[in-house]
Amino acid sequence: MDRSPRGFYARAVHPRLSIWPPLPPDVYLRRPLQRLPFPLEEPDCRVVAWARHAVWHGVRRLGLGAGDEMLVPAWHHGSEIEALARAGVTCRFYDCAPDTAAPDSDELEHLLRPGVRALYLTHALGFPQDIGRWRAWCDARDLLLIEDAAQAWLALHDGQPVGSTGDLAVFCLYKTFGLPEGAAMIQASPPAPVGLDTRLGAVELARRHGMWLAGRSGIAYAASRPLRRPKPYDPVGDFDLRDPESAPWAHTPFVLRRISDPAAAGQRRHNYAALGAALDELVAAPFAHLAPGASPFVFPIAVEAKAGVLARLREHGIVGLDLWSLPHPSLPVERFPGAASRRATIIGLPVHQELRPVDLERIVAAVRIAGARPARVESAA
């Protein structure tokens, strides 16, 4: 058998691998877990529909609003910034050096002024920040600490769960397991629990099951194409707060009890290491060294001609993530070259726990076929 990349892709139809974890069809036969991972069993945890809702509710419960400022990363998705803005908070942006995803303490000190009330700390791509250091930094300056663990559920730092030291922490459940949606928040005085959307969400569940089948059968993926209507990216819709009072689907607790295996973080690290061994020259600099407690959301590569690489990967059934190519409109882009460079170069590749060894081979081969060339992330200075 021809195992070369071009021989590997001689077939015309390829299964589809996405960065989003699919939902295995046997989930309904699994025994429910006796205890869910942190923070879901904590009395101060609340499950909501989307992490942006958790941000909006959480900062309001902390007493933040009009006239208050927060230190937030310039490299961001945008929905969290919109949630803060809708809560009345003014964002003061900070950049990061090219070799780290952590804030620079000197830059933060320069941004401090009387109106600043909190630091927004993002555990980007599932890589845990030094939560002890930033907790102490905030305490010394009488600041609140907001932990954005939307991409980092199950991650640990020095054995401590990410999200366990902040005054507010938010998590995306569907970024780690095959749920259609669902998020969690934890804080000392959380909002009242929300109910569940009484609709079963059967269509959304079917789509997640379909992703599982499409990842294993090119024929199944090809057959589903007439049902899909690709839409151009809409940043306004992507950033939109939506209805913060909306409830998670009724199926969410049932599915969570059957798929929320903490061992998924270890499998993600294993997959990340396997991809890193083959694509080490392309790994985005801040994420070149896999932290022991990381729960990687994606495998990030920094490439030239990002749009073209994404398109060629999709031709071979690999749906990469165009990581945050457009910032929230409130960001003064010209002041943050480090964030701008990351937006222009970083692609997220699948790394989730449902991938098989043959899937990892396919990803590596597709990247080679796509002709991806490493790009240098510019300095934030």
Which CATH number covers residue 122?
Answer: 3.40.640.10
At 229 the pLDDT is: 61
Residue 294 lies in a domain: yes
Please check whether residues 167 and 211 belong to one and the same domain. no
From residue 177, give the alpha-carbon distance in Å to each of 23, 25, 186, 248, 298: 7, 13, 19, 15, 13
Among the three residues 187, 214, 237, which one is the final residue of a domain in this structure?
A: 187
Domain with 362, as residue range(s), is 5-27+198-229+262-369
Residue 251 lies in a domain: no
At 112 the pLDDT is: 98
DSSP 8-state symbol, 4? S
What total of structural domains would you count in the chain? Answer: 2
**Phi-psi region at 192: left, alpha or beta (left = phi > 0; alpha = psi -120 to 50):** beta
Residue 246 lies in a domain: no
DSSP 8-state symbol, 186? E
Instruction: Report the candidate in 298, 31, 41 with the shortest Cα–Cα distance to residue 161.
Output: 41
At 233 the pLDDT is: 87
SS3 202: helix
**At 160, which amino acid appears?**
Q
Please check whether residues 19 and 144 belong to one and the same domain. no
At 97 the pLDDT is: 77
Domain at 305, CATH number: 3.90.1150.10
Please check whether residues 213 and 358 belong to one and the same domain. yes
From residue 62, give the alpha-carbon distance in Å to each of 45, 58, 242: 15, 6, 21
Two tokens at 376?
């240098």
Please check whether residues 202 and 183 belong to one and the same domain. no
DSSP 8-state symbol, 104? P
DSSP 8-state symbol, 249? B
Residue 250 lies in a domain: no
**At 344, which amino acid appears?**
A
Please check whether residues 106 and 144 belong to one and the same domain. yes
What element of type H or E holds 157? strand 156-157
Please check whether residues 205 and 300 belong to one and the same domain. yes
Tokens 């992507």, residue located: 238
Residue 249 lies in a domain: no
At 223 the pLDDT is: 67
Two tokens at 257?
């009890």
Please check whether residues 269 and 302 belong to one and the same domain. yes
Residue 96 lies in a domain: yes
Please check whether residues 22 and 118 belong to one and the same domain. no
Are residues 163 and 185 in contact, defined by beta-carbon separation less than 8 angstroms? no
pTM equals 0.93
Please check whether residues 270 and 359 belong to one and the same domain. yes
DSSP 8-state symbol, 145? E
At 381 the pLDDT is: 46
Residue 257 lies in a domain: no
What element of type H or E holds 160? strand 160-161
What pLDDT tens digit does each residue of the chain (381 aa) get? 344 544 444 445 789 999 999 999 999 999 999 999 999 999 999 999 999 999 999 999 999 999 999 999 999 999 999 999 999 999 999 998 778 899 999 999 999 999 999 999 999 999 999 999 999 999 999 999 999 999 999 999 999 999 999 999 999 999 999 999 999 999 999 999 989 998 778 889 999 999 999 999 887 777 666 555 667 889 899 999 999 999 999 999 999 999 999 999 999 999 999 999 999 999 998 999 999 999 999 999 999 999 999 999 999 999 999 999 999 999 999 999 999 999 999 999 999 999 999 999 999 999 999 999 999 755 444
Please check whether residues 365 and 321 belong to one and the same domain. yes
